[in-house]
Amino acid sequence: MVRVRVPATTANMGPGFDTIGMALELYNYLEMDVIPSGLEFDISGEGSESIPRDETNVVYQAAVRVFEKNGDEPTGLKIKQENQIPASRGMGSSAAAIVAGMVAANELAGGKLTEGQLLELAVAMEGHPDNVAPAMLGGVVVSAVLDERLFYRKIKPPQQLSMVLAVPDFTLSTSIARDVLPLNVPVKDAVFNVSRASLLVLALIQEDYQLLGQMMDDKLHQPYRVNLVPGMQAVFDAAKRSGALAVALSGAGPALVAFVTDKDKCKLVGQSMRQAFSQVGVNCDTRHLAA
């Protein structure tokens, strides 16, 4: 039997669309074991009521890809999922399921695939790397897919950075949040993002919090997704007024993430985000999470 722990992730971090992601101290746990035949599931925690207990289960499908790649089909599998990551909220729950399934299956199969091979399989399944990469490696990961090859580097998260996540009580599917994006964007918007994403990476490496706070705006995805998250701009404004350095849509949303350097301000930032959401009739839970 193997047991793995996979973190939640916040992808994009503003301008780094499909490129930059950060692991958060909130985890899903998975136990996997080979059994003589069939498939057994024991699923509890966040989203457990709607997670399939059959061959369409994402953890199972991810594991199968690894077993197939190894040429090693197990007789049967027992899968136990204990989930703490809110499902379909923009905190990497599907990436966590994929990574957990792949890492566990690889261990059961004797650890034949390398980290890079596993990550490429995970990216192929998820479609973009910015959640699966930090889910597998931890920390902040910057990644690029070139001709199906994945290039990635991990950055140590800045020590003083805390994240306050405002997690609304509704779900948003990533495919819906991607369908609202335009096929083409103006060059000036692309330059807006390339310049900010580049400086954001430097700010993260150099722990330059002032620069980090100034480089989190985005014009490639957030403006198109604003109507999917009622109150998004008001929550951004409220968090900044309460002392957040910057605020972003977490992944494809609907969770919003505020970046804070002074831990004492996290409570106030969370309260102001909850209040701004409540003014448009959205209930949300706030969580203060370290990287």
Binding residues for ATP, by number, are 86-96
Q: Is 209 in the site for ligand HSE (CB under 6 A)?
A: no
Q: Is 240 in the site for ligand HSE (CB under 6 A)?
A: no
Q: Which stretch binds ligand HSE (CB under 6 A): 42-50, 125-133, 143-151, 163-171?
A: 125-133
The residue among 113 and 150 lying less far from ligand HSE, judged by its C-beta, is 150
Q: Is 218 in the site for ligand HSE (CB under 6 A)?
A: no
- Kindly state the number of chain residues that form the binding site for ligand HSE, as judged by CB under 6 A: 13
The residue among 125 and 177 lying less far from ligand HSE, judged by its C-beta, is 177
The residue among 120 and 265 lying less far from ligand HSE, judged by its C-beta, is 120
The residue among 41 and 192 lying less far from ligand HSE, judged by its C-beta, is 192
Q: Least CB distance from residue 178 to ligand HSE, whole Å? A: 5
Q: Least CB distance from residue 258 to ligand HSE, whole Å? A: 17
What is the biggest distance separating any 2 CA atoms in the chain, rounded to whole angstroms? 59
Q: Least CB distance from residue 19 to ligand HSE, whole Å? A: 8
DSSP string, the chain: -EEEEEEEEEESTTT-TTTEEEEEEEEEEEEEEEESSEEEEEEEETTGGGS-SSTT-HHHHHHHHHHHHHT---SEEEEEEEE-SPTTSSS-HHHHHHHHHHHHHHHHTTS-S-HHHHHHHHHHHHSSSTTHHHHHH-SEEEEEEETTEEEEEEEPPPTT-EEEEEEESS---HHHHHHTS-S---HHHHHHHHHHHHHHHHHHHHT-HHHHHHS---SSSHHHHGGGSTTHHHHHHHHHHTT-SEEEE-TTSS-EEEEES-GGGHHHHHHHHHHHHHTTT--EEEEEEE-
6, 8, 11, 204: residue in contact with ligand HSE (rule CB under 6 A):
11
130, 133, 196, 236: residue in contact with ligand HSE (rule CB under 6 A):
130
Structure-token pair, residue 9: 């992730």
4, 8, 18, 121: residue in contact with ligand HSE (rule CB under 6 A):
18
Q: Which stretch binds ligand HSE (CB under 6 A): 113-121, 123-131, 161-169, 199-207?
A: 123-131
Which residues of this chain interact with ligand HSE, rule CB under 6 A?
Answer: 11-12, 17-18, 128, 130-131, 174, 177-178, 221, 251-252
